[in-house]
DNA sequence: GCAAGGTC
């Protein structure tokens, strides 16, 4: 019997694959603590194991927190890593064990560059390179039974090497740019005395910061220009109505004055138009839209929404939330899910409405697609644990959106009357909802109704007055987290799973403040300013575009590892001179970053003037090693970098005298009852001559 | 300690 190990990207996918490829049911076998699905399919023994996203990551081969650094390698995600998960090690061991007993390894991770790379790394490092020739690749875009079976039968006989290389390339370029520039910024700050703060920048952080910085400049340099808005107040059967000037905003003062001069007491109804429009229900959520709506309606942050969705997913209440899709494939039992939702008291009425509308409800399809997952939808599972606060709100939002997407359109009628007053045209508008449709189920969209009077063409209406209001142009509004996420999505910055997190990083670096009305801090502006001079690539979306373009062009052809290395080297070529410039200008950059508000803070005992720069020399203790040493106060502003070691034992007493050989202060040290005098300069020319 | 990308 042929034995096959299938590697999925994550537990949920592994389960679906196992059940799709099973003739007689699925068993779970434990290898150590790791569960693995076992099944038989068309006379083959199948094991399905899963990774948990990337199990391997790029690390620096050797050396410390320095730059430039280009020596990198792939390594199992370590406990030091932020993304470490304690099950990683066991998972790898389990996969390695089963791999030894099978005839073939099938990579069945998501079909994108990260998925191909995840699978490749598992084969290479968990199993060993010799398994490459036994490895194949299953390609599918949804986790439905039919597609999975087809994908298994028609799998590629080898790994998809060009896609793997594309994935490696993306990781390497991001790492080299991000780590080096982040270190260069952080170490500049350290040079001028701020030893706490970490700065960062990267392919996604950079353009996002720049976007916000440009908006900040726009707002601060906006020159308000005058414009006018005109409206006529008319009276019909004793009721007042407002008709807006038909030409929109008036930019010429002359025109505004002309309208102001209207004295006619009557308006003539020139034309009436009535339009009935239908608005289709919104499609079910993808992650981005869920995050935006949760923020708009409940002010729940995108990060929080993701966290809650993940929890709901683990409780089996909703489908996989990290999806870009706004579509529910036909293979999902929509009717069954809705029936189950109907068993919950709070949704009974809504569900009844849906079935009155259609016996076979079908969610409308949105534009978003995703290679691996359908749109977010409830599973219909009973809510066992009582959901609290925000959890409840998010769950309810998902349920309502899903139900609404199966319901009928909203219908409204819009009426417009064109009024002529002394040759100037005004518009009288009315809006009436004829049928709320899906709005009854998803009531979070505001449609304001406006009554329309009973009038006919040719009628004369009484004009109470014509108002002309002077206004001034305003700058574009500041971003909030929601609009920023949307903008990033449009620009192709980050992915659905990382965008919210990256915005949070920008806040934690203190580049940004006030999430509801985002302002760029002085520090954020400085980082953007400095990089736009020294390394504009990191602030431009072009880096993302280039990487994408290279990947798109090459993954369909034969992108070899040699070729990848050449591309990475070419892409990071310019970085070398950027980094050496940053190193040379560390102090300038640091000073510019800390700005005028920065107050260097060093506590220590003064012992006399520094012979190099004239500032005070201080005795301080290292936070890290607890050892005492001498530092020049000038180091806090970057103008000096003198430090000197001290004996660690004994009581030290300043003598307020300077060394006759080098000008450094002299100190006395008392230890074990003896006192001796020494020069604080470790390289004092007088050291050998006994001071 | 620093990126961006998967995932728990």
Contact A433, A459 (CB under 8 A): no
Residues A490 and A582 in one domain: yes
Most confident of A384-398, A456-470, A643-657: A456-470
Identify the CATH number of the domain in which residue A70 sits: 3.40.50.140
- Whether the pLDDT of residue A651 is over 90: the answer is no
Residue A506: HSE in the Cβ half-sphere, 13 Å Cα cutoff:
35
- DSSP letter string over A646-659? --SSSEEEEEEEE-
Q: Which nucleotide is nearest to A204 (CA to C1')?
A: B4
User: Which positions of strand B lie within 7 Å of protein CB atoms?
Assistant: 1-8
**Nearest alpha-carbon partner for A353 in A341, A365, A364, A368:** A341
Backbone angles phi, psi at A346, to 5 degrees: -70, -15
pLDDT at A215: 96
Is position A597 within any domain? Answer: no
Angstrom CA distances, A301 to A291, A396, A523, stand at 7, 17, 24
- Nearest protein residue to B5's C1' (by CA)? A114
Last residue of a domain, one of A592, A618, A644: A592
Cα distance between residue A45 and residue A34, in whole Å: 19
Give mean pLDDT, residues A359-383.
87
Distance A585 CA to B6 C1' (A): 37
Give chain A residues 151-210 with Cβ within 7 A of strand B: 170-171, 174-175, 178-179, 182-183, 186, 190, 198, 200-206
Contact A126, A96 (CB under 8 A): yes
Q: Which nucleotide is nearest to A50 (CA to C1')?
A: B7
Q: pLDDT band for position A42 (50/70/90)?
A: very high
Helix intervals (H) in A10-65: 11-20
A77 touches strand B (CB under 7 A): yes
User: pLDDT tens digits, residue range A593-627?
Assistant: 987 544 444 556 778 888 887 777 888 776 556 67
Cα distance between residue A227 and residue A595, in whole Å: 39
**CB burial readout A612-630, b (16+ within 10 A) else e:** ebebbbbbbeeeeeeebbb
- Nearest protein residue to B3's C1' (by CA)? A178
Distance A121 CA to B7 C1' (A): 15
A118 touches strand B (CB under 7 A): yes
DSSP state of A9: S
pLDDT at A600: 46
Mean pLDDT of chain A: 90
Distance A673 CA to B8 C1' (A): 61
Sequence-distant (≥ 6) Cβ neighbours of residue A359 within 8 angstroms:
none
Residues A189 and A261 in one domain: no
Domain holding A662, by residue range, is 605-689
Distance A167 CA to B1 C1' (A): 25
User: pLDDT tens digits, residue range A242-270?
Assistant: 999 999 999 999 999 999 998 878 999 99
Is position A599 within any domain? Answer: no
Residue A202: both structure tokens together: 């990267």
Is position A467 within any domain? Answer: yes
Q: pLDDT band for position A528 (50/70/90)?
A: very high
Residue A460 β-bridge partners: A268
Cα distance between residue A431 and residue A413, in whole Å: 6
Last residue of a domain, one of A532, A561, A592: A592
Question: Among residues A111, A131, A320, A664, which one is catalytic?
Answer: A320
Residue A112: both structure tokens together: 């994108």
Distance A95 CA to B2 C1' (A): 32
Residues A671 and A581 in one domain: no
Q: Which nucleotide is nearest to A118 (CA to C1')?
A: B6
pLDDT at A610: 84
Most confident of A117-131, A289-303, A369-383, A585-599: A117-131
Distance A117 CA to B3 C1' (A): 17
A612 touches strand B (CB under 7 A): no
Cα distance between residue A250 and residue A247, in whole Å: 7
Residue A109 β-bridge partners: none
Cα distance between residue A449 and residue A446, in whole Å: 9
Residues A14 and A137 in one domain: yes
Distance A84 CA to B7 C1' (A): 10
A600 touches strand B (CB under 7 A): no
**Nearest alpha-carbon partner for A202 in A514, A522, A486, A540:** A540
- Whether the pLDDT of residue A409 is over 80: the answer is yes
Give mean pLDDT, residues A19-44.
95
pLDDT at A609: 83
Is position A19 within any domain? Answer: yes
A495 touches strand B (CB under 7 A): yes
Is position A600 within any domain? Answer: no
Residues A346 and A431 in one domain: no
Is position A164 within any domain? Answer: no
Distance A294 CA to B7 C1' (A): 23
- Whether the pLDDT of residue A636 is over 60: the answer is no
Looking up tokens 């290389």 gives A165
What's the distance, Cα to Cα, between the start and end of chain A in Å?
88
Is position A540 within any domain? Answer: yes
Cα distance between residue A597 and residue A520, in whole Å: 16
Cα distance between residue A402 and residue A393, in whole Å: 14
The residue ranges of DSSP E strands in A142-259, in sequence order, are 226-236, 239-245
Identify the CATH number of the domain in which residue A508 sits: 1.10.460.10
Give chain A residues 347-386 with Cβ within 7 A of strand B: 372
Cα distance between residue A644 and residue A663, in whole Å: 14
CB atoms within 10 A of CB A341: 22
Residues A36 and A91 in one domain: yes
Residues A295 and A369 in one domain: yes
Give mean pLDDT, residues A679-685.
85
Is position A598 within any domain? Answer: no
Q: Which nucleotide is nearest to A88 (CA to C1')?
A: B8
User: pLDDT tens digits, residue range A223-240?
Assistant: 999 999 999 999 999 999
Q: Which nucleotide is nearest to A12 (CA to C1')?
A: B7
Q: Are strands A665-671 and A674-679 parallel, antiparallel or unpaired?
A: antiparallel
Cα distance between residue A286 and residue A398, in whole Å: 10
Residue A4: both structure tokens together: 């096959």
Give mean pLDDT, residues A283-291.
93
Give mean pLDDT, residues A144-164.
91
A80 touches strand B (CB under 7 A): yes
Residues A429 and A486 in one domain: no
Distance A322 CA to B7 C1' (A): 10
A494 touches strand B (CB under 7 A): yes
Known catalytic membership, residue A320: yes
Contact A69, A60 (CB under 8 A): yes
Sequence-distant (≥ 6) Cβ neighbours of residue A624 within 8 angstroms:
none
A68 touches strand B (CB under 7 A): no
Q: Which nucleotide is nearest to A186 (CA to C1')?
A: B2
Last residue of a domain, one of A442, A472, A502: A472
**Nearest alpha-carbon partner for A413 in A279, A563, A248, A214:** A279
Sequence-distant (≥ 6) Cβ neighbours of residue A628 within 8 angstroms:
A619, A620, A621, A622, A646, A648, A652
Contact A244, A419 (CB under 8 A): no
Helices and strands (DSSP H and E) totals, chain A: 19, 23
Residues A26 and A145 in one domain: yes
- Nearest protein residue to B4's C1' (by CA)? A174
Identify the CATH number of the domain in which residue A422 sits: 2.70.20.10
**Nearest alpha-carbon partner for A212 in A497, A494, A508, A515:** A515
- Whether the pLDDT of residue A21 is over 60: the answer is yes
Identify the CATH number of the domain in which residue A327 sits: 1.10.290.10
Residues A458 and A494 in one domain: no
Residues A557 and A648 in one domain: no
Residues A514 and A554 in one domain: yes
Residue A492: both structure tokens together: 């192709």
Cα distance between residue A383 and residue A388, in whole Å: 11
The separation between CA A541 and the C-alpha centre of its own chain, rounded to angstroms, equals 15
pLDDT at A643: 81
A9 touches strand B (CB under 7 A): yes
Looking up tokens 């949920």 gives A12
Q: Which nucleotide is nearest to A196 (CA to C1')?
A: B1
Distance A134 CA to B5 C1' (A): 27
How many domains is chain A partitioned into structurally? 5
Give chain A residues 44-63 with Cβ within 7 A of strand B: 52-55, 57-60
- Nearest protein residue to B6's C1' (by CA)? A53
């Amino acid at each position: 019997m042929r034995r096959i190990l299938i590697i999925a990207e994550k537990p949920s996918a592994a389960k679906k694959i196992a059940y799709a490829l099973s003739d007689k049911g699925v068993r779970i076998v434990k290898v150590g603590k790791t569960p693995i699905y076992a099944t038989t399919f068309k006379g083959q023994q199948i094991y399905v194991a899963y990774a948990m996203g990337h199990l391997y990551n790029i690390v620096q081969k050797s050396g410390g927190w320095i730059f430039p650094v280009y020596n990198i390698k792939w390594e199992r995600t370590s406990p030091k890593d932020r993304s470490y998960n304690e099950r990683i090690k066991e998972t790898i061991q389990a996969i390695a064990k089963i791999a030894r007993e099978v005839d073939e390894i099938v990579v069945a991770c998501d079909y994108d560059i990260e998925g191909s790379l995840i699978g490749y790394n598992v084969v290479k490092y968990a199993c060993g390179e010799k398994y490459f020739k036994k490895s194949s690749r299953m390609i599918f875009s949804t986790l439905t039974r039919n597609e999975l079976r087809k994908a298994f039968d028609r799998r590629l006989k080898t790994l998809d090497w060009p896609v793997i290389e594309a994935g490696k390339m993306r990781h390497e370029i991001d790492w080299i740019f991000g780590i080096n520039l982040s270190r260069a910024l952080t170490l500049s700050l350290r040079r001028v005395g701020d030893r706490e703060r970490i700065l960062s920048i990267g392919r996604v952080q950079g353009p996002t910061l720049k976007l916000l910085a440009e908006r900040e400049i726009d707002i601060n340099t906006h020159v308000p220009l005058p414009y006018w808005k005109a409206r006529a107040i008319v009276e019909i059967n004793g009721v007042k109505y407002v008709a807006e000037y038909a030409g929109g905003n008036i930019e010429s003062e002359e025109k505004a004055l002309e309208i102001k001069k209207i004295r006619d007491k009557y308006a003539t109804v020139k034309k009436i138009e009535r339009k009935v429009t239908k608005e289709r229900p919104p499609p079910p959520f993808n992650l981005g839209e869920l995050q935006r709506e949760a923020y708009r309606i409940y002010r729940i942050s995108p990060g929080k929404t993701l966290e809650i969705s993940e929890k709901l997913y683990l409780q089996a209440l909703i489908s996989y939330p990290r999806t870009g899709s706004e579509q529910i494939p036909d293979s999902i039992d929509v009717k069954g899910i809705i029936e189950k939702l109907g068993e919950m008291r709070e949704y009974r009425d809504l569900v009844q409405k849906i079935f009155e509308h259609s016996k076979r409800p079908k969610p409308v399809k949105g534009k978003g697609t995703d290679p691996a997952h359908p749109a977010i939808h409830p599973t219909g599972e009973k809510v066992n644990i009582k959901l609290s606060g925000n959890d409840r709100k998010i769950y309810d939002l998902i349920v309502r959106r899903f139900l609404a997407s199966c319901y009928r359109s909203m219908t409204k009628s819009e009426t417009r009357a064109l009024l002529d007053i002394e040759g100037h045209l005004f518009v009288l508008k009315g809006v009436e909802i004829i049928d709320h449709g899906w709005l009854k189920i998803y009531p979070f969209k505001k449609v304001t109704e406006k009554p329309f009077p009973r009038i006919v063409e040719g009628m004369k209406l009484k004009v109470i007055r014509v108002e002309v209001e002077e206004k001034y142009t305003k700058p574009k509004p500041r971003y909030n987290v929601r609009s920023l996420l949307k903008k990033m999505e449009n620009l192709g910055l980050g992915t659905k799973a990382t965008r919210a997190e990256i915005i949070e990083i920008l806040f934690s670096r203190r580049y940004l403040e006030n999430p509801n009305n985002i302002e760029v801090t002085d520090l954020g502006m400085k980082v953007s300013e400095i990089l736009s001079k020294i390394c504009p690539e990191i602030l431009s979306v072009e880096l993302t575009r280039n990487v994408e373009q290279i990947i798109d062009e090459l993954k369909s052809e034969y992108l070899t590892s040699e070729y990848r290395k050449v591309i990475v080297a070419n892409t990071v070529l310019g970085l070398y001179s950027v980094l050496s410039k940053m190193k040379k200008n560390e102090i300038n950059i640091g000073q510019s970053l800390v700005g005028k508000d920065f107050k260097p803070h060093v506590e220590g005992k003064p012992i006399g003037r520094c012979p190099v720069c004239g500032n005070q020399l201080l005795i301080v203790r290292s936070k890290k090693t607890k050892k005492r040493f001498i530092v020049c106060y000038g180091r806090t502003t970057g103008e000096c970098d003198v430090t000197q070691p001290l004996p660690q034992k004994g009581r030290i007493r300043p003598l307020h005298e300077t060394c006759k050989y080098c000008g450094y202060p002299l100190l006395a040290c008392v230890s074990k009852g003896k006192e001796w005098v020494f020069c604080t300069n470790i390289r004092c020319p007088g050291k050998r001559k006994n001071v």
